[in-house]
Amino acid sequence: MELTRYVSIGQYLPRDSVVHRLDPRTKIGVTTLLMVVIFVITDFTGYGLLAASLVGLFLLAQIPLGYAARGLRPILFLLLLTFVLNLFFSGLREGTPLVRLGPLVITSEALSRAAFISLRLVLLVVATSLFTYTTSPMALTDGMERLLRPFRRIGVPGHELAMMMSIALRFIPTLLEETERIMKAQMARGAEFQRGNLLRRARAMLPILVPLFVSAFRRADELALAMEARAYRGGEGRTRMKELAFAARDAVAWIVSVFATAVLLASRWLGLP
């Protein structure tokens, strides 16, 4: 039982690649464009091209392709469900029947639809995981804060949101360590967590949750005090040690992705080939 060591926070894989060095804002932007593209494409050829370019990006980022597959593990069930539901209840009335299972009919159109929707999910996850693999949590919050800055006028507390996010990230390992320690302390007093029915197990969590909450509140208090002691008063007029700055590679990334998206949208709505 070594909780801390089994849970990795985020999925950041530090490498020295061009993709890693891109400005986080660029990566947020490009990832958003990728999502749009994924939803705009409606044929397998498009997805084939997209998949190929994603593979290229993974190679460029020096992330083993196995990691792309690993990112799919948590959504395996969702993927299966989506596939099955689309297969049987696609809502397509017409079609060439392939298999008949009692009242259920699988048409080739439904099969192709199910495959397509599943592929869409896979691509979405793979595209976003490329982003999380190559962007450290800190870079991510920095990028978010900077992107939200223009919205401050309409009351979006960008700095505060980013600060909360980085504090939350910072404390995940601490809280995990604490959970482990408290669990062991209660086990030393004869507690068991894997025994009995669901209700008993839920009750058995109480001796862990109460101390955990108490200490989380205490930590929050102490952190707030420590921040105030160093005259923290929000993002107003605050300077940063590492200023985000766009480089030539960011320009390249933006131009390529905006151009590709534009071409795609144009071909979709203007009926170009």
Partner 1 sequence: MIEVRDVHHVYLRDSPLAAVALRGISLTIPDGERIGLIGPTGSGKSTLVQTLNALIRPTSGTVSVDGEDIFAPKADRRRVRQKVALLFQYAEQQLFEETVAKDVAFGPRNLGLPEDEIATRVHEALQSVGLDPDRFGPRSPFTLSGGEMRRVALAGVLAMSPKVLILDEPTAGLDPQGKAEFLQLILRLHAQRQLTVILINHSMDEIAQTTERVIVLDAGRVVMDGPTRQIFARAEELEHLHLGIPQTAQILHRLRARGLPVRTDLFTLEEARAEVLRVLRPA
Contact range with partner 1 by CB under 8 A, out of 16-24, 155-163, 183-191, 243-251: 183-191
220 sits near partner 1 (criterion: CB under 8 A): no
One of 102, 103, 155, 190 touching partner 1 (CB under 8 A): 190
Asked if 214 interacts with partner 1 (CB under 8 A), we say yes
Q: Could you identify the residue written with the tokens 């590492």?
A: 242
- The set of residues, in sequence order, having a beta carbon less than 8 Å from that of 136 and lying 6+ positions away, is 10, 12, 14
Q: Give, in order, the Cα–Cα distances in Å from 113 to each of 95, 120, 182.
A: 11, 10, 49
DSSP state of 75: G
DSSP string, 200-230: HHHHHHHHHHHHHHHHHHHHHHHHHHHHHHT
By beta-carbon proximity to partner 1, the closer residue of 185 and 224 is 185
Q: What is the rounded CA–CA span in Å between residue 207 and residue 245?
A: 48
Candidate residues 84, 105, 185, 266; the one interacting with partner 1 per rule CB under 8 A: 185
For residue 49, give the nearest of 60, 38, 61 by alpha carbon: 38
Q: The tokens 């507390």 sit on which residue?
A: 157
d(CA 209, CA 56): 45
Minimum CB–partner distance for residue 186 and partner 1 (Å): 6
Stretch binding partner 1 (CB under 8 A), from 96-104, 119-127, 150-158, 205-213:
205-213
Q: Where are the alpha helices (DSSP H) in the chain?
A: 3-6, 18-21, 24-40, 44-60, 65-70, 76-88, 108-134, 137-148, 158-188, 198-229, 248-269
CB of 2 to partner 1, least distance (A): 6
Question: Does the footprint of partner 1 cover residue 9 (CB under 8 A)?
Answer: no
Which is closer to partner 1, CB of 192 or CB of 228?
192
Asked if residue 187 binds partner 1 (CB under 8 A), the reply is: yes
Nearest in space to 178 (alpha carbons), one of 207, 205, 212: 212
Looking at the Cβ atoms of 46 and 207, the one nearer to partner 1 is 207
By CB under 8 A, is residue 36 in contact with partner 1?
A: no
199 touches partner 1 (CB under 8 A)? no
Select the residue interacting with partner 1 from 13, 72, 75, 182 (CB under 8 A). 182
By CB under 8 A, which span of 1-9, 60-68, 244-252, 260-268 interacts with partner 1?
A: 1-9
List interacting residues with partner 1 (CB under 8 A): 1-2, 5-6, 178, 181-182, 184-192, 206-211, 214-215
